[in-house]
Amino acid sequence: MALGYDGRIFRHHIPPVIRLSHKRLKKQWNEKWLHKSDRNPSFMLTTDPKEKRMITLYTWTTPNGRKVPIMLEELGWPYEVRTVNLGKDEQHAPDFLKISPNNKIPAIIDPDAEGGPLSLFESGAILTYLAEKSGRLLAPSGADRYRTLEWLHWQIGSLGPMLGQLGYFARRAQEKTPAAIARFTEEGERLLDVMERRLAESPYLGGEEYSIADIASYPWTVAATTFLKEALAHGLEGKPALHRWLQAVGERPAVQKGMQVPQV
């Protein structure tokens, strides 16, 4: 499908040349994604759509926000970053809601997906999609595939939410709620123990190979040693396998680059 479109959502100030040559495409995108009342300038088309068919990544400077840039850096695919400033509540902009109905980053739009442009939210779905599209970082079948998906889902359903809640109650909330802090500290510690046991028996979370399960867990493990260090009782203390894994993953150039995205 000759989309010739770079994934940016557009509505206002569309250059005439684009308006003419991409009329049909614009109509298709507007119908699918745009909200009439939205005036968010960060969603405007600003580059020549014929030049680029790259993935647009909507993200912010948080652990969940770093997973997808790490993946895209591993793949070496060009991508365009759109910041969604959570501090300014941009995750609630109506246009962003069309892409990410749960009002959370990360999200992507792939203009070059099979069957037409595809928007995706939820980091686990995005990582799985990119792994399947590229044929990398997730085994195509068999036990290795499901072991990787198991640990990917563990991160999405457990490590991320528990450490995220700990961050909220222990660091960000004005009012401190001891029971909530105790609960999420305990759960955070327990999950780091689970991770330590897994990594003591296996080089990577999914098995012998580095995979999307490691990409998903890395930014949260870094958070456990930085932003959440004080909140956790023990954190990575006495966890040699976790230290070994953190270092191995952290040495990857794609991880180092992805952890710097977005630049704000």
Ligand X SMILES: N[C@@H](CCC(=O)N[C@@H](CS)C(=O)NCC(=O)O)C(=O)O
Give residues in contact with ligand X (CB under 6 A).
Answer: 62-65, 86, 91, 103-106, 122-124, 156, 160
CB 244 to ligand X: min, Å: 25
CB 245 to ligand X: min, Å: 20
Measured from the CB atom, the residue of 157 and 240 that comes closer to ligand X is 157
Alpha helices in the chain (DSSP H): 16-21, 23-33, 63-75, 94-99, 123-134, 142-154, 160-166, 178-201, 212-225, 240-250, 253-258
Residue 166, classified by CB atoms within 10 Å of its CB into exposed (0-12), middle (13-18) or buried (19+), is: buried
CB 163 to ligand X: min, Å: 10
Measured from the CB atom, the residue of 3 and 228 that comes closer to ligand X is 228
DSSP state at residue 42: G
CB 165 to ligand X: min, Å: 10
CB 116 to ligand X: min, Å: 23
Measured from the CB atom, the residue of 96 and 245 that comes closer to ligand X is 96
* Torsions phi, psi for 241 (to 5 deg): -65, -40
Closest residue to bound ligand X by CB: 104
Structure tokens at 93: 């902009």
Measured from the CB atom, the residue of 25 and 108 that comes closer to ligand X is 108
Structure tokens at 214: 């490691």
Are the C-beta atoms of 5 and 33 separated by less than 8 Å?
A: no
Task: Give the DSSP letter string of 58-79.
Answer: EE-SSHHHHHHHHHHHHHT--E
CB 230 to ligand X: min, Å: 19
Name the residue among 195, 176, 178 with its Cα closest to residue 234.
195
DSSP state at residue 54: P
CB 219 to ligand X: min, Å: 9
What is the rounded distance in angstroms from the CA atom of residue 26 to the CA atom of residue 12? 11
Are the C-beta atoms of 148 and 211 separated by less than 8 Å?
A: yes
